[in-house]
């Protein structure tokens, strides 16, 4: 593995890239080698919630399911926030039960995510994906034990450079999510911002991967 893509919705099947492909319980693709699975807050459906949770619990027991997610909280959607919190907590309990890291979607609800982590006494690694906020929020997340993953906004928002520079090297990942650019382009931006050689950055992310996912590839 030369490159690790923490979060993507598109499997590209490149031999030197390990892609953690986001899957949904009702749209599962058995051809994808490594994946995360979860209920995104946008797609919570009360009518199938129990069935979705059962599918997730089953998949979390498979070796090639590397993480739970993406799941989380989003204050900018119409789905009732109390319901979002309940579904998030039910998934976190499963992640803890099967000792899988968690990939988190969080919009305008960082404090609530931190409080839920504390309330449930989570011990598994928790990663905020697609980070786009300021250094204060980043420091708060790092201080509460989260990892932070950067992708689209690292390429689009020059103001994120200073935030990314100050993230400890043992606390970040890189991703593509839904952008057209490949993970190599994200790595190139990250290496430039961190003032590292590409090989040095690859080593850092490989170490973080080994620590969080504990699956040597």
Known binding residues = 70, 105, 129, 177
d(CA 68, CA 8): 14
3-state SS, the chain, equals CCEEEEEECCCCCCCCEEEEEEEECCECCCCCCCEEECCCHHHCCHHHHHHHHHHHHHHHCCCCEEEEEEEEEECCCCCCHHHHHHHHHHHHHHHHHHCCCEEEEEECCHHHHHHHHHHCCCCCCEEECCCCCCHHHHHHHHHCCCEEEECHHHHHCCCHHHHHHCCCCCCEEECCECCCCCHHHHHHHHHHHHCCCHHHHHHHHHHHHHHHHCCCC
Report whether the peptide linkage leading into residue 70 is cis, meaning its omega lies within 30 degrees of zero: yes
d(CA 33, CA 18): 9
Binding-site positions for a divalent metal cation: 70, 105, 129, 177
Q: Where do we find the tokens 């890189």? A: 174
d(CA 71, CA 61): 18
């Amino acid at each position: 593995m030369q490159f690790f893509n923490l979060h993507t919705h598109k499997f590209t099947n490149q031999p030197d890239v390990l892609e953690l492909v986001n899957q949904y319980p009702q749209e599962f693709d058995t051809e994808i080698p490594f994946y995360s699975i979860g209920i995104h807050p946008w797609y919570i459906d009360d009518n199938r919630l129990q069935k979705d949770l059962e599918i997730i619990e089953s998949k979390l027991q498979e070796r090639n399911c590397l993480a739970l997610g993406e799941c989380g909280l989003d204050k900018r959607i119409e789905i009732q926030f109390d319901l979002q919190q309940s579904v998030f907590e039910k998934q976190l309990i499963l992640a803890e039960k099967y000792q899988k890291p968690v990939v988190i979607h969080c919009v305008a609800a960082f404090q609530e995510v931190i409080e839920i982590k504390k309330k449930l006494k989570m011990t598994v690694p928790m990663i905020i994906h697609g980070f786009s906020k300021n250094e204060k929020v980043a420091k708060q997340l790092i201080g509460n034990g989260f990892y932070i993953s950067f992708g689209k906004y690292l390429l689009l928002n020059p103001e994120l450079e200073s935030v990314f520079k100050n993230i400890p090297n043992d606390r970040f990942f890189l991703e593509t999510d839904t952008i057209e650019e490949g993970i190599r382009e994200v790595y190139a931006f990250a290496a430039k911002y961190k003032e590292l050689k590409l090989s040095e950055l690859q080593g850092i992310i490989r170490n973080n991967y080994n620590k969080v996912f504990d699956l040597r590839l």
